[in-house]
Structure 1
Amino acid sequence: MGFELELDEFLHELALFKGFSEHTLKAYSSDVCDFLNFLEARFLDLSREALWEYRSFLSSQGYEKSSIARKLSSIRSFLRFLRRKGYISEPLEKFIRNPKSGRPLPRALSKEEVEQLISVASDARERAIVELIYATGVRVSELVSLNWSDIDWDSEVVRVLGKGGKERVVPIGSKALEALRAYGSESGMKGPLFKNRDGDRLTSRSVERIVKRMAIKAGLGSDVTPHVLRHSFATHLLEGGADLRTVQELLGHSSLTTTQIYTKITLDRIKEVYALAHPRS
């Protein structure tokens, strides 16, 4: 196989200085051994070309991208060790690139499904929760942090404290305002916006349970979460002609790249409509 002694030294160093567990050490050993056996079976020297060939080989074997990334990370660490110890001179670790992680597309409800979800609300609080998330796109953590004083009824906006303590002002639609007024007339418009039966602030977990229960009742499945409503908010805005920068501001994204994922969803929907409607699609 080659490099057996160097591998033993490498693993010993990981155990001694990094404090890695036996399980982690076995994973490193397995990843590096697989690579070294690959080289030996193909009579390849340790080179950048061999590294590229091995990366292609891993991809062809149907490994998940996360598994490939882990294997390459182990090899990268081993190569860095070899160079630091003077066993090799070329910085081969720099030629290993992890596969790009394909970001999963978030699920978005259709407008009809959102209406379906709202229609099964069992009380004013449930309706207000769904209406407000869908109207503003707030994160569930932001929703449960809201107070009645954060709503400006005259301007029809809500002040949201987002990630990193960043504040943004988001418009509220008339339907959500109407639902909030109905809920407020029952609960009182002081203190936390959404309270539990004991009068304490509602938790994120409680909101998630409420939305899931409503979704099952509406026949939409058990995977509908407050985050799905947030995705639906963004998707429907883009489908309605909103520009990406505006949606970025409304969602409270620090990077436009994060918001750009929604353009893929809307493009997929456009393609579906085209395929159904165009006579020569």
Structure 2
Amino acid sequence: MLAFYGEQRAAELAHPELVGWHIANLLGFFGDKMCSFIDGTACRAYVAARTAGRIGKRPVKVGTARRELETLSAALNFAHKEKKLVFPVLVTLPAKAPPRERWLSRSEAARLIAGALGIVPVAYDVETREPAKWGRMFKPVYHVARFILIGLYSGTRHEAILGLRWGVNSLGGWFDLTHEVMYRRGQGQAETNKRRPPVPIPENLGSHARRWRGLTVNGPVEYAGRLILKERRGFTRARELAGLGSEVTPHILRHTCATWMLQRGIPIWEVAGFLGTSEKIVRDTYGHHSPHHLASAKRRFHGRSLGKQT
């Protein structure tokens, strides 16, 4: 069933290579088993083996094992839909990890951008221990700084940022500087669950984008005339120079963008539309950052009838 799913369905998905990686790990545990073997006990055993490193090259987190089991579930559902299985087979998934709430303050974001540009503190105030003077002590990596700014101001996902170009194309999004619109999907690219709606170019980003247009060839996040495929080492270097922890990943930029918008009082429905996600996700993950969060509740505890039985 996994091979059937890989041959018939995976190629139509947004990331077939990721599906192939999942299938390779799933086959290491389920490959010689019948579909009737799959139950809650087997799924929990898979998670235990995967997180312990007995399957695959190294131990992984529970969330990774969960995503692989989601691929198994999708394969079995596809097989049942295609009448390869008479009865549906249910896959038991481990509980979802709590949503990440880490976001960057304005000073942390500034330090991260400075780290990308090779700028670090060179002198500190004796009393406050705060940086008093900054200087460029390392080689700047400009494409990382551009990546960070796009993520902070637009909340665009990692892969979509790397695919941005200056002109209309079918491989990734692009900046339409004439009409001040940022398209996150290539022309003709299918929409996925992780939606990428076009949005107006944020005011703080527009001036940067116009300047970058004259400095780059293909797109803003490029190095030596070639677009970056994965932003890893450069971002890690910037984070370390900024003195931030390992929990600060590229996805933190999206969380930060959402949090900053809610803190400015932008309605949840508008934030959801800008990020390309649902209002429920925004409310559940970031809602408590809004200044209006539970604002009506604090006004309920007044009046002479408080505490009286009706």
Q: Distance in 2 between matches of 1:165 and 1:107?
A: 20
Q: Which residue pairs with 2:105 in the alignment?
A: 110
Q: Is 1:257 aligned with 2:257?
A: no
Q: Which residue pairs with 2:270 in the alignment?
A: 246
State the TM-score, normalizing by the size of structure 1.
0.54
Measured after TM superposition, the shift of residue 132 of structure 1 is 0.9
- The percentage of aligned residue pairs carrying the same residue is 24
State the TM-score, normalizing by the size of structure 2.
0.50
Q: Which residue pairs with 1:200 in the alignment?
A: 226
User: Residue 207 of structure 2 is aligned with which of 178, 188, 204?
Assistant: 178
Q: Which residue pairs with 2:54 in the alignment?
A: none
Q: Is 1:137 aligned with 2:155?
A: yes
Alpha carbons 2:262, 2:289 under 8 Å: kept = yes
Q: Distance in 1 between matches of 2:211 and 2:252?
A: 24
Q: Is 1:223 aligned with 2:218?
A: no
Q: Is 1:152 aligned with 2:147?
A: no
| Equivalences, count | 184
Alpha carbons 1:235, 1:262 under 8 Å: kept = no
Q: Which residue pairs with 1:128 in the alignment?
A: 146
Measured after TM superposition, the shift of residue 19 of structure 1 is 4.4
**Which structure: greater helix fraction?**
1
Change (3 A) 1:105 1:185: same
Kindly provide the amino acid, as one letter, of the partner of residue 243 in structure 2: G
Q: Is 1:168 aligned with 2:186?
A: no
Alpha carbons 1:131, 1:175 under 8 Å: kept = no
- State the structure with more CA Rg: 1
Q: Is 1:233 aligned with 2:257?
A: yes
What does the per-residue CA deviation read over 1:173-195, in whole Å, with 9 as the maximum and x for residues that have no partner?
3442333334332323xx34422
Measured after TM superposition, the shift of residue 166 of structure 1 is 5.0
Change (3 A) 1:208 1:180: farther
User: In angstroms, what is the RMSD of aligned CA positions?
Assistant: 3.8
Alpha carbons 2:164, 2:220 under 8 Å: kept = yes
Kindly provide the amino acid, as one letter, of the partner of residue 175 in structure 2: I
Change (3 A) 1:266 1:131: same
- Which ranges in structure 2 are unaligned for 5 or more consecutive residues? 1-32, 47-61, 64-92, 118-139, 168-173, 186-190, 295-310
